[in-house]
Structure formats: structure tokens, C-alpha cells
Amino acid sequence: MRIAFVGKGGSGKTTTAALFSRYTAGLGRPVLAVDADINQHLGVALGADPAAPPPRALGGDLTWLKDHVRGENPLLPSADTMIKTTPPGPGSRMLSLDPSGELLRRYSAVAGGVRYLVTGAFDESDIGVSCYHSKTASPRSRPARWSCTSTTCSTARGSTSRST
């Protein structure tokens, strides 16, 4: 199951996502939460120490991330050929979030019994364009071995969101 908490600033996305994620994890279900909000505070809302550094941001190492996601996909000869709308294909690792895999070892942390990722900072040109919930909401993008993925993401002026 994939759930995205999307809304304008101050609407309670982070609080709702944290409470839902902790509740679901408390039921014994594996949860992966992704903080794709402009103001990234999901880790603290889950119970992480506010003085501790956040996990490494997904957006901070796009070269490695694109190469990892590309995997062995023969349709993508290099990570440079990927664009934001490149769909997953044979050999890609876009759909696999194995908890023991390199992606989660590099980028995730656990707080309040919930494993979570952060996308990292957004700049003005990203607003309304680079929302990571587009990857987690794909009908084919169910993370392996996770029963629930929750995502927070702000909406931008003129943007829309749709649940799939």
C-alpha cells in the first residue's frame, strides 16, 4: 500500500504521516516513510533526536542514485540518458527497496520504529516539478517487502495531486 499525504504548508502532512507510520509500524507492519516535503521534519516527528544529523538525502547524490536506479536496464546505456519521466524497465532497480539493500543502507534511518528517507532540499526551480511522490505513487512501484509506504509532499501553486 502506498499513501501520500499532500497539501499546502501547515496543513498537518508531517504530523499525519508520522502518526500513521508509527501506528502502522506498531501493528507489526513494515513501513517505509519518505519525507519529500519542502520543510523536512518527518524524522523528528517520528521521534528522531532533533540535534542528530538527518539521514543522507536522496537528492544529494543524484549521479549515484540514477546509476543505482538504472541497474542493468539495457534500454538505458548510462545514467545520463535518464530523465525525470523515465519509466522502470527490465533490469532497473527503481521498484526494489530491499531493507538490506544498498539504497536503504546509504540513505535511510529509523526513528520511532519506522524506517524513513529524506529527499533533501528543494530549490525554487524544483517546486511543483520534482516531487518524489510521483515515483512512490506509480501502480508498479510497490517497494519489495514493505507493506506500507507513506510520503509527505507539499503542493505548489497551480499543482494538482491524484491518488492511484
Residue 38 covered by a domain: yes
Q: Is the pLDDT of residue 150 over 80?
A: no
Range of the domain at 143: 2-61+107-154
* pLDDT score at 18: 96
Residue 10 covered by a domain: yes
Higher-confidence residue of 144 and 125: namely 125
3 within 8 A of 150, measured Cβ to Cβ: yes
Q: What is the pLDDT of residues 66-102, one digit of tens each?
A: 888 888 888 888 888 888 777 778 888 765 566 778 8
Residue 68 covered by a domain: no
b/e burial code for range 40-73 (CB count within 10 A of at least 16 → b): bbbbbbbebeeeeebbebbbeeeeebbbbbbbeb
Residue 69 covered by a domain: no
- Model-wide pTM > 0.85: no
Residue 87 covered by a domain: no
Q: The domain spanning residue 138 has which CATH number?
A: 3.40.50.300
Q: What is the pLDDT of residues 22-66, one digit of tens each?
A: 999 999 988 899 998 888 899 999 999 999 998 999 888 888 888
Residue 145 covered by a domain: yes
**Percentage of the chain exceeding pLDDT 70:** 70
d(CA 18, CA 95): 23
Nearest one of 3, 7, 8 to 19, comparing CA atoms: 3
CA 46 vs CA 32, 50, 66, 156: distances in Å: 12, 11, 28, 25
Residue 55 covered by a domain: yes
Residue 127 covered by a domain: yes
Structural domain count of the chain: 1
d(CA 42, CA 111): 9
